[in-house]
Amino acid sequence: MKRVFKFELKLATLQDVMMQEGAIVQSIEVQKGVPYVYALVDPSLPKKPVEFFMFGTGHEVPDGPIQFIDSFQLSDGQLVFHVYLKLYI
């Protein structure tokens, strides 16, 4: 049976988040000033690193196999970040 789990995101351009194999990323939400990625996972499966890119509005986004996930705001909307998932093809 699958469940929705949350995983903390750091404010970093590139980061690995340990998630269960086959995780389906659903959204990004902020709780108490901390961004989290929510994903549908099978808790019985082993975890592996999943690469995320995070960019502020107006920052350069590299070309390549990435998929937009979601945007979120911090500091009462003064900071807006956009999160992408690195795709492996």
Q: Which positions ≥6 away from 61 have C-beta within 8 Å?
A: 53, 55, 82, 84
The per-residue pLDDT for range 12-27, each reduced to its tens digit, is 889 999 999 999 999 9
Q: What is the mean pLDDT of the chain?
A: 94
Q: What pLDDT shows up at residue 51?
A: 95
Q: pLDDT above 90 covers what percent of the chain?
A: 88
d(CA 12, CA 52) in angstroms, rounded, equals 9
